[in-house]
Structures are given as C-alpha cells and as structure tokens.
Structure 1
Amino acid sequence: MWRQALAGARGALQQWCMLSSRRSSTSVSSAVNSMLLRHLKEHYLELSKMTPPPKVSPPSSFTIVEGALDRSGPVLKRTYGDEEISLRVMQLANIISGDDDGEDGINQLFLHVDISKPGQKESLHFLCGLFPDALGIHSVSMRPKLETSGFLVVPTKYNGPVFQDLDEGMRDALHSYIEERGINENLFPFLQAWLYVKDNRNLMRWFRAVGTLIKERKQASDA
C-alpha cells in the first residue's frame, strides 16, 4: 500500500512539474508576443505619421497604370505611333547592396522598358539605370510580350549581345531610340516619389499582417 501511495505521489509530482513547465513556457511566449506586438504597433504608427513627398506627375505623354501601387507590374504606359510602351521600376539598392548614397535610399533606379507592337508575340526590352540627371542602358533583348500577371518573363533563347560589346555607333543609336520615346531622366522625379509611397504602403501592410498573425496565435494560445 505504501509503495502504491509513493508511486502515486511520484506520478502526481511529475505531472505537476510538466504543468508548471508548460505554464512557464506559455508565460514566456505570451510576453514575447506582447513585446513584438508593441514594436509592430509603434513602427506602424511611426510610418503612418510620415509626411509623403510632394505629389509629382509623370511626363505628360505617360499615364499611370491603375492599381500599380498595390501590385507588381507596369507603373507607366504610353503609345508612340503604333507602339505600346510600358515601364516598370525597381530600386537599384534592392539589387546591389551598398549603393544607397542618398538620404531617402531611392536615388538610383532600375527601369524596365517594354516596347511592343500589335500582332507581334515579342517585345523589345530595355534594362536601364535611371538617375536624377542621366539614363544608361544595361541591356537590350527580345522577350515574350508582357503578361498581365505582372511578372517578367525569363527568356528561354538567345536574346541579344552584351550591350557594352556593341560598337559606339550602335549604342548611341539605341540611346536615341528610347530617348525619342520619352525614356530619359525626366521620369526620375515621378518614379522616385512613386517608389517612396509604394515602399511605405508595403511596409505598413507588412507590419499590419504580421501583427494580425501574432494576435491570432496569441488568442489561440490563451484560449
């Protein structure tokens, strides 16, 4: 009888230790969640109070693609004769770390220019570096026409020579070709401001989404 009572006491003690450990773990997890939620809220509120840059319009020949701020895809478009031209933009600092020389971090941009014509399956694609006072071409290739999904199509066949391997006359002619279509440094002020707003909106959305997930997990663990 005594041995049975001792065995029962040991079992009860083990169960109490396990329960105590769970309570301690739950308490620590809850504290971490609360701390994270507090920081997320602080950063979200800080972003929401930031003054946006002055509103800038694109050059008059371009129109802003509806809904571009909320999805990946073209930002600006225009027609030039029978050509359809669309522009996508990315921060150069997102691709090459350590190239952030400006206070706002958006002083160097990658510009994707697609020029297509009705009835053709491929478009002429320019990858350019855009700066406040200059535009340079990195590459020129033929690619399948831009899809509405908003993703760049990776070429599966030979898509052209290395731009720097072209002779100077050809390079100058290609620069003149896109400049004639309004692709130049005049696009920079609008695209810089547009990226600032987009990055701010995406970051606020990210803080809100992470906070919602943490809250749901916290409520589930408290239940």
Structure 2
Amino acid sequence: MWRKVLAGAGFALQPWRTTAYRRSSSVSSAVNSILLRSLKEHYLEVSKMTPPPKVSPPSPFTIVKGAIDGSGPVLKRTYGDEEISIYVMRLANIIPGGGNDDDDGINQLFLHVDVSKPGQNDSLHFLCGLYPDAVGIHSVSMRPKLQSSGFLVVPSKYNGPVFEDLDERMRDALHGYIAERGVNESLFPFLQAWLYVKDHRNLMRWFKSVGSLINERKDASEN
C-alpha cells in the first residue's frame, strides 16, 4: 500500500518539477540575453575609442616581437656585452584599485629592468618607478637569468639590502648605472601609450571571450 501511495505522490509531483525546470530555463535564457546584449554594447563602445598617437621607443631600444599579447619584456637593447630588458606595469596591477581616483595611476609606471651578461647565471634586477619627469629605484637584486618566455623569476635567495638603507653615494651611483643604459624618463611616453593599447586589446578580448562562453552555453541548453 505504501508503495502505491509513494508512487502516486511521485507521479503527482512530476508535472510540478517539469514546470519549474522550464520556468528556470526561461529565466536563465532571459538573463543570458540581457548579459550578451550588454557585452556587445560595451564591446562596440570600447572598439570606437581613439587610440593615443603612435610613439616610437627611444633609440636604441627596440620593441620585443609579440610583447603586446604576452607578459614578457616590452623593450630590449644591448649595451656592450650586456642585454637590457624592460618590463612595465601600472600601479593598479600591483595594488588593486591603486591610482584609479587620481592621475597617479596614469602618471606612475613600474619598470622591471633586467641587466644580463653572457655566461652568467644571474642577472641584475632593478624595480623602478617611472614618471613623466623622473625615474626612482625601489630595489636592486640578483635574480636567475630570464628565460626566453614567461615572466620574471621570483628570487629564492637573499634579495639584497633595502635600497633606502644604502648610503646616498651608492644610491646615486646605481641611478647613474641605469641612466647610462638608457633607463630614464624618455621611456615614459612610449610605455604609457603601449600600455594603453595593451589594456584596450585585453578589454576587447575579455568582452568577446565572455560573450562567446555564454553564447556556447545558451546554444547547448537549447539543443
């Protein structure tokens, strides 16, 4: 008898479950459509943004091929037997939300300057703040030499003294060292424009990728 009651109850509940599923699918489809429309509108809006005037890097630095779509060095040059590699990022990439409410985030860039020599396992690494009219060194360390691809290697041994703890004469000498290799404020106009283009591409790629993923899920649910 209990089997008949349970079977009857199960049969009675089945249409309700089907209705709820259909209603849920309908709501989900509507939400997807709204989101897809919003993504498309933003994509078109961003695609119409006027890029900054084209700026060339200061000689003798050259742009690393494929850098705009990767996370490796942006600029390279040789200085005697040394190879100088320049990485760049914004303040907001290091401190989330940093510099978004004023001009500091726009007018302050962070450089990773890597100086390597053939036959050496380690390279000399400078973390610098780059401004329209100045360069400031935050730290100096020895790091494993960079590979041909990928981003910077995090040091696994003693990272060197705190830069501000060095005496003024040594700090000035280290500033002179990178200045002699072309690391100065003349890099700012190019790197600022380059980051704008990179951020623009990444944003458009994000809108497109999210839209494609949602569209695929929508198509799959309709089949």
For Structure 1 versus Structure 2, the TM-score category normalised by the shorter chain is over 0.9
Find the counterpart in structure 1 of residue 36 from structure 2: 37
Residue 152 of structure 1: CA displacement?
1.0
Matched residue of 1:106: which SS?
helix
Find the counterpart in structure 2 of residue 120 from structure 1: 120
8 Å CA contact 1:101–1:107 kept in 2: the answer is no
Deviation by residue 1:122-168 (Cα, 9 ceiling, x = unmatched)? 10000000011111000000000011222211111112111000000
Deviation by residue 1:84-136 (Cα, 9 ceiling, x = unmatched)? 00000000122233323556953211000000111111100000000111110
Q: What one-letter code is carried by the residue in structure 2 that aligns with 1:137?
A: I
Find the counterpart in structure 1 of residue 215 from structure 2: 215
Structure 2: segments with no counterpart, 5+ residues: none
Provide the aligned C-alpha RMSD in A: 2.0
8 Å CA contact 1:106–1:196 kept in 2: the answer is no
Q: Percent identical across equivalent pairs?
A: 75
8 Å CA contact 2:82–2:116 kept in 1: the answer is yes
From the superposition, tell whether residues 70 and 83 of structure 1 become closer, same or farther in structure 2 (CA, over 3 Å).
same
Q: What one-letter code is carried by the residue in structure 2 that aligns with 1:153?
A: V
From the superposition, tell whether residues 141 and 13 of structure 1 become closer, same or farther in structure 2 (CA, over 3 Å).
same
Find the counterpart in structure 1 of residue 199 from structure 2: 199
Residue 13 of structure 1: CA displacement?
3.2
Query: Could you tell me how far apart the structure 2 residues matched to 1:36 and 1:180 are?
Result: 52
Query: Could you tell me how far apart the structure 2 residues matched to 1:67 and 1:112 are?
Result: 18
Alignment of 1:178-189 (within 5 A): 178-189=178-189
Query: Could you tell me how far apart the structure 1 residues matched to 2:194 and 2:64 are?
Result: 12
From the superposition, tell whether residues 132 and 9 of structure 1 become closer, same or farther in structure 2 (CA, over 3 Å).
same
Find the counterpart in structure 2 of residue 75 from structure 1: 74
Structure 1: segments with no counterpart, 5+ residues: none
Query: Could you tell me how far apart the structure 2 residues matched to 1:156 and 1:32 are?
Result: 48
Q: What one-letter code is carried by the residue in structure 2 that aligns with 1:61?
A: P
Matched residue of 2:146: which SS?
coil
Q: What one-letter code is carried by the residue in structure 1 that aligns with 2:106?
A: I
Query: Could you tell me how far apart the structure 1 residues matched to 2:91 and 2:210 are?
Result: 27
Find the counterpart in structure 2 of residue 151 from structure 1: 151
Compare 37-46 and 166-175 and name the one that shifted more: 37-46
Alignment of 1:101-140 (within 5 A): 102=102, 105-140=105-140
8 Å CA contact 2:74–2:85 kept in 1: the answer is yes
Compare 63-72 and 88-97 and name the one that shifted more: 88-97
TM-score where L is the length of structure 1: 0.93
TM-score where L is the length of structure 2: 0.93
Find the counterpart in structure 2 of residue 52 from structure 1: 51
Runs of 4+ with >3 A deviation: 4-13, 100-105
From the superposition, tell whether residues 175 and 101 of structure 1 become closer, same or farther in structure 2 (CA, over 3 Å).
farther
8 Å CA contact 2:111–2:128 kept in 1: the answer is yes
Query: Could you tell me how far apart the structure 1 residues matched to 2:162 and 2:106 are?
Result: 27
1:168 has 2:168 as partner: yes
